[in-house]
Chain A
Amino acid sequence: MLRYTLRRLLAALPTLMLVASLAFLLLHAAPGGPFDSQKRLLPAIQKSIEAQYHLDEPLWRQYLRYLDDLAHGNLGPSFQYRGTSVNQLIAQGLPVDVMVGLSAITLALLLGAGIGVNAALRRGSLADHASMAIAIVGISVPVFVVAPLLVLLFAVELHWLPAGDWVRGSIRHLVLPSVALALPYVAYIARLMRASTLEVMGSPFIRTARAKGLPGYLILWRHALRPALTPLVSFLGPALAGLITGSIVVESVFGLPGIGRYFLTGALNRDYTLVIGISVLYGALIVLFNLLADLCYALIDPRVRLR
């Protein structure tokens, strides 16, 4: 398993380099530079700023310099936030995203799996039909619709929870963003879980367990749950990657100071280093999530051999 993990991580390096190179080339190919939009600077000052950030060098030198810094884990200075490095900005923003993302995926897993298993065990009942009908609506409604609707309901109408005005460490402020991010996943996981539980519950080894006289909850807990979870695990990789997109939206709706906001403002202000740095981080996260999903797969299903 360790060898497999190391090999996968090694294989990810060319991908990350590709992401960095693509972002670098695109940003530099685009018209306009990071210091164009501001008030007109004296030519001498403009020149000295550009020299400070090595923008006066030929493109290939800048590119090699960037890759060299990247290899040393240094994402360079931000252009837009003077005197702050991209590493510092990410260190500030990432914890917010990790908190919201983790609580969202935990909520989605618990709630989605619960609803799905419940629907499967009561197949054909009102609860089954109702939860599946709601699930299809949940899949069709994207995060950027769910988020303002939640604000409308829980912040504007009911005054239960705050929307926006982020306070560091406040759990109440975490609730609406996490729920907004989680809801589409709840719907998807519920559907997946219902289908896989139905399939497992129909298989011969469950009949054997039932013939032994095991009570229903023990059959579910000891025998059915583990195989029913396997399709969920393969969904987990892409789902975690999708959280990145979701977090950009949720941050902009709720005004969270996460890296998605830095990414958007960085792109709008041509903050080259900030945008490339966050792109590379996103790429690394996707690689990591896929690896995590594959490892979970091997843990949960003994037939899977990692090679």
Chain B
Amino acid sequence: MSASASFFRQSLHRFVRQRVALGAGLTLIVILLASVVIPMFAAPEGAVPHYELLSQSPSSQHWLGTDPLGRDMLLRVMWGCRISLAVGLAASLISVLIGVSWGAVAGYAGGTSDSLMMRTVDILYSIPYVPFVIVLTVLFGHQLWLLFVAIGAVSWLDIARIVRGETLSLKHREFIEAARVAGTHGFGMIARHIVPNLLGIVIVYATLTIPSVILFEALLSFLGLGVQAPLTSLGSLIADGAAEVQTHPHLLIVPAALLALIIYSLNYLGDGLRDAFDPRT
């Protein structure tokens, strides 16, 4: 293959990739808008049980049919999406906050504090964290906020490692020296000069954290440990659908497909952003 052909192929590949990322972003925006708007304008009686409408197939009245309690499935799915996305965003935010502060402080402080903090991260890595969160949610009740905190608190390790590495390389750059000469120290330095220069990479890894958090929440809800009825999330909808799979497979297929679409799009969006932001990959 000649050099120019390979270059052409590479550019084409990059272009297609970015277009896929763009498509993924648009898909996510559509899902987000739908999950916010549809419940707002839907007829409110679709959200409550109707005993004459149990487990109906899709019709012009109920586009995705009804669930075993006679609630409109489209509305249920949109509510589930809303909660899944909210959990994903909130828990990712928590994990980014912890991860960035931990990594930046460790990298900037260096020396003993650095090795101590990173050893802690190493040890936490070997904790079986899914069982750990299961224990947490079982013991402390099923409040939604606890779910955010529990998931956020165990998913910050990757970000802490990446941020520390970046901080180490930033630390010896000239503009940091200049700021030090100008009298900036410690926390002020981290907040004003280190963290803003990390934002690109942090956004990328935050985008990649969201799908894993959404999956985690879905897993907990599937096991019956996450969001509790009458609230619902994609995970609990999948669990409900799995129970009805013999008679009404669409109750499983619709939320499962939507979850897969969200995860798929977020992964592609994250990959695209990484290509754009992170020159090393």
Q: Which residues of A contact B (CB under 8 A)?
A: 12, 14-15, 18-19, 22-23, 26-27, 29-31, 136-137, 139-142, 144-145, 147-149, 151-152, 156, 241, 244-245, 248-249, 252-253, 263-264, 267-268, 270, 275, 278-279, 282-283, 285-287, 290
Contact = CB atoms under 8 A, between A and B. Distances in A.
Given A19-B127, A152-B252, 10 more contacts: A14-B123, A23-B135, A26-B139, A30-B140, A136-B264, A144-B239, A147-B242, A264-B134, A264-B223, A279-B135
B10 to A, nearest CB: 14
Interface in B122-179: 123, 126-128, 130-132, 134-136, 138-140
B100 interface: no
Contacts of B134: 248, 263-264, 267
B75 interface: no
A81 B238 CA distance: 31
Given A23-B135, A26-B136, A148-B252, A245 B245 contact: no
Nearest to A252: B223
B92 interface: no
Interface stretch (B53-61, B108-116, B214-222): B214-222
A249 B241 contact: no
Contact of B135 (A27, A141, A287): A27
A285 B126 CA distance: 10
Contacts of B136: 26
A279 B249 contact: no
Contacts of B218: 142, 144
Contacts of B126: 12, 15, 283, 286-287, 290
A145 B245 contact: no
B185 to A, nearest CB: 34
Contacts of B223: 248-249, 252, 264
A17 to B, nearest CB: 11
A263 B259 contact: no
Contact of A142 (B127, B131, B215, B242): B215
Contacts of B232: none
Contacts of A245: 130, 219
B256 interface: yes
Contacts of B33: none
B263 interface: yes
A275 B128 CA distance: 12
Given A18-B123, A145-B260, A267 B242 contact: no
B135 A241 contact: no
B267 interface: yes
Given A15-B123, A19-B128, A145 B138 contact: no
A244 B260 contact: no
Nearest to B128: A282
A278 B131 CA distance: 9
A283 B124 CA distance: 11
Nearest to A136: B264
Interface of B: 123, 126-128, 130-132, 134-136, 138-140, 215, 218-219, 222-223, 235, 238-239, 241-242, 245-246, 249, 252-253, 256, 259-260, 263-264, 267
A263 B130 CA distance: 12
A139 B267 contact: yes
A149 B138 contact: no
Contacts of A156: 245-246
B139 A267 contact: yes
A244 B132 contact: no
B238 A267 contact: no
Contacts of B131: 244, 248, 263, 278-279, 282
Nearest to A290: B126
Contacts of A152: 245-246, 249, 252
A15 B122 CA distance: 10
A140 B260 CA distance: 5
Contacts of A267: 134-135, 138-139
A12 B126 CA distance: 9
Contacts of B242: 144, 147-148, 151, 253
Contacts of A12: 126
B211 to A, nearest CB: 8
B252 to A, nearest CB: 6
Contacts of A137: 260, 264
Contacts of B235: 144
Given A249-B222, A264-B134, A148 B241 contact: yes
B139 A244 contact: no
B249 to A, nearest CB: 6
13 contacts: A19-B127, A23-B132, A141-B256, A142-B218, A144-B218, A145-B260, A148-B245, A151-B245, A152-B245, A248-B130, A279-B132, A285-B128, A290-B126
A142 B139 CA distance: 25
A263 B225 CA distance: 13
Contact of A22 (B127, B256, B267): B127
A27 B252 CA distance: 34
Nearest to B241: A148
Contacts of B263: 140-142
A151 B128 CA distance: 28
Contacts of B238: 144-145, 148
Contact of A149 (B127, B128, B246, B252): B252
B165 to A, nearest CB: 18
Given A137-B264, A263-B134, A268-B138, A18 B127 contact: yes
